[in-house]
Amino acid sequence: MSEHKEIGKYISIIQRLNNAYFANQLSSYQIGCGQQFFLLQIFKKPGMSLHELASFGHYDKATATRAVKKLEEEGYVVTEMAQEDKRIRRIYVTEKATAVVGKTLESVNDWADIILKGFTNEERDAAEQMLIRMACNALDHIVEQRGKE
């Protein structure tokens, strides 16, 4: 297994290049790569809570809070108190977000084409499935370690 010890290095390189790509693509919208994930999740599931948003991407609540605050400052999302529980704030995209969501979705597809250039459809599917398994393995390990603390 030791011959694969640098896989984390390549995952990290891809992530840094991913961040640079999205920062460049979204620079005219005054949001960075850090907010685009959150904006898309809110767009896909309007009315989600901050806790749901943070949990979905395995972010801590402080990171999700900062991202939502930045999106609110730019006018891309609004938060409203939940009718069923006034302690919960529901998050929604605004009409102003339409252009940035469209550009982000386009950029997500373009980035996938860039990093999967030359891959067959079968290789693309296999790469995605392997990354999903790696993410699950990483999450399982972190959860397991928390229990040992």
pLDDT by position in tens, the chain (length 149):
557 689 999 999 999 999 999 999 999 999 888 899 999 999 999 999 999 999 988 999 999 999 999 999 999 999 998 888 888 899 999 999 999 999 999 999 999 999 999 999 999 999 999 999 999 999 999 988 887 76
Burial bucket for residue 8 (CB in 10 Å: 0-12, 13-18, 19+): exposed
Residue with tokens 């961040």: 19
Is the four-CA dihedral 18, 124, 56, 29 of positive or negative sign? positive
Instruction: Please give the helix or strand (H or E) that residue 90 lies within, else none.
Output: strand 89-93
| pTM: predicted TM-score of the whole model, two decimal places | 0.84
> Which H or E element spans position 1?
none
